[in-house]
């Protein structure tokens, strides 16, 4: 089988490519990536000379680039997206271009190429925010209520993908995942920023009162979930993918990281909350569990420790990025 992975030099995309080539020995992957600030080919050094792997530098907004990359492809796994909420607040236009227009270009070419599956990777942020202290969780029937330019553009792309299924019969699946963490995550994100700042003996920034809740999903668990959806998921269906099963607020996450390094709360620097900051995310992933047999491999504490160790052991990778160096 031949797969096109969009955004395969990014955090989740590169982890997916490494996972897939390790577990699916006969398959070939084409990686289409624009190599923005968050795309880094160093993530894929281990397989850069693998004959089963092809890299194409290109933009999903370009019909020419997409046509070239999708030649002879059986399955499209669409990760490519502008994804940092803070950046979307500062400038929304790149998010509209990549997340909406780029997805449309891919869908059009997938129709022409008659791909066997178009899998769209989305986020739980399209559902908006939940209240603290309640048992409610997002599921596949939750109404969309995006609160940031980022989540609004992802919501739009979800609707486009579903429209191409209902209108044109394009064989699609969608996954809405919670916040990912793990190796190769760009160090501006919450968990790697905290880890790397502590290694650098810097303060750890924490928005507002630190009580915002996220449902943390280890990136390898996410890759396994997409694998099972591609293998057994029903065409036209959406599957929610989550990690932890109980609420963990951001301050508790920071305390866990501080405890690992033997540090105290004195290392936390509380900063002004960002506009429209969603209070709580939580995912009910019972559908993918009951229908496809997927569940996270380990608990949050186990995966968090593995993540901290990775950043300790790969300091040259993230130090250049934090110092303004451009990914290769």
What pLDDT score does 325 carry? Answer: 63
Question: Phi first, then psi: what are they for 306, rounded to 5°?
Answer: -60, -40
pTM of the predicted model as reported, rounded to 2 decimal places: 0.94
Residue 102 CB contacts under 8 Å (≥ 6 apart), including other chains? 6, 59, 60, 61, 80
Question: Phi first, then psi: what are they for 132, rounded to 5°?
Answer: -70, 150
- Of the given ranges (28-32, 49-53, 168-172, 206-210), which has the lowest mean pLDDT? 206-210
Q: What is the per-residue pLDDT across 263-299, written as a single tens digit (0 to 9) for each?
A: 999 999 999 888 878 899 999 999 999 999 999 998 9
What pLDDT score does 326 carry? Answer: 55
Q: What percent of the chain has pLDDT over 70?
A: 99
What pLDDT score does 246 carry? Answer: 83
Mean pLDDT over residues 112-140, rounded?
A: 95
With beta carbons less than 8 A apart as the criterion, state whether 44 and 16 touch. no
**Which ranges of 200-292 would DSSP assign to H, the alpha helix?**
219-232, 250-261, 286-292
- Asked if the model's pLDDT at residue 303 lies above 90, the reply is yes
Cα–Cα distance, 120 to 219 (Å, whole number): 16
Mean pLDDT over residues 152-163, rounded?
A: 98
Q: What percent of the chain has pLDDT over 90?
A: 87
Mean pLDDT over residues 136-158, rounded?
A: 96
Mean pLDDT over residues 144-158, rounded?
A: 95
Q: What is the per-residue pLDDT across 173-232, written as a single tens digit (0 to 9) for each?
A: 999 999 999 999 999 899 999 999 999 999 999 999 999 999 999 999 999 999 999 999
All structural domains of the chain, each given as residue ranges with its CATH number in brackets, are 2-181+216-245+275-298 (3.40.50.720)
CA 82 to centroid of chain Cα atoms: 10
How close are the terminal C-alpha atoms of the chain, in Å? Answer: 28
Look at 158 and 37; give whichever has higher pLDDT. Answer: 158
Q: How confident is the model at residue 245 (pLDDT cuts 50, 70, 90)?
A: confident
What pLDDT score does 328 carry? Answer: 47
Q: What is the per-residue pLDDT across 68-83, written as a single tens digit (0 to 9) for each?
A: 999 999 999 999 998 7
Catalytic residues: 124-125, 150
């Amino acid at each position: 089988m031949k797969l096109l992975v969009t955004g395969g030099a990014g955090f989740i995309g590169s982890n997916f490519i490494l996972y897939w080539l390790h577990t699916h020995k006969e398959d070939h992957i084409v990686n289409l990536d624009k190599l923005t600030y968050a795309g880094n080919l160093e993530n894929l050094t281990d397989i850069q000379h693998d004959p089963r792997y092809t890299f194409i530098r290109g933009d999903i907004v370009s019909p020419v680039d997409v046509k070239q990359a999708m030649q002879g492809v059986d399955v499209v796994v669409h990760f490519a997206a502008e994804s940092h909420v803070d950046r979307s607040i500062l400038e929304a236009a790149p998010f509209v271009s990549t997340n909406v227009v780029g997805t449309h270009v891919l869908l059009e070419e997938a129709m022409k190429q008659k791909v066997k599956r178009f899998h769209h990777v989305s986020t739980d942020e399209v559902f908006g925010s939940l209240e603290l202290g309640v048992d409610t969780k997002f599921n596949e029937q939750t109404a969309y209520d995006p609160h940031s330019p980022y989540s609004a553009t992802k919501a739009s792309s979800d609707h486009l993908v579903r429209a191409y299924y209902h209108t044109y019969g394009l064989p699609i699946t969608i996954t809405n995942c919670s916040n990912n963490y793990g190796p190769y995550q760009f160090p501006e994100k919450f968990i790697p920023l905290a880890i790397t700042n502590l290694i650098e003996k810097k303060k750890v920034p924490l928005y507002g009162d630190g009580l915002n809740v996220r449902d943390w999903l280890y990136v390898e668990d996410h890759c396994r979930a997409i694998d099972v959806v591609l293998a057994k998921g029903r065409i036209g269906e959406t599957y929610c993918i989550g990690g932890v099963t109980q609420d963990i607020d951001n301050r508790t996450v920071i305390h866990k990281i501080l405890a690992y390094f033997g540090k105290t709360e004195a290392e936390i620097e509380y900063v002004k909350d960002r506009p429209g900051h969603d209070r709580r995310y939580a995912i009910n992933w019972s559908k993918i569990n009951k229908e496809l047999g997927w569940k996270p491999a380990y608990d949050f504490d186990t995966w968090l420790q593995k993540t901290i160790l990775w950043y300790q052991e790969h300091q040259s990778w993230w130090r250049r990025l934090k110092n303004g160096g451009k990914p290769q």
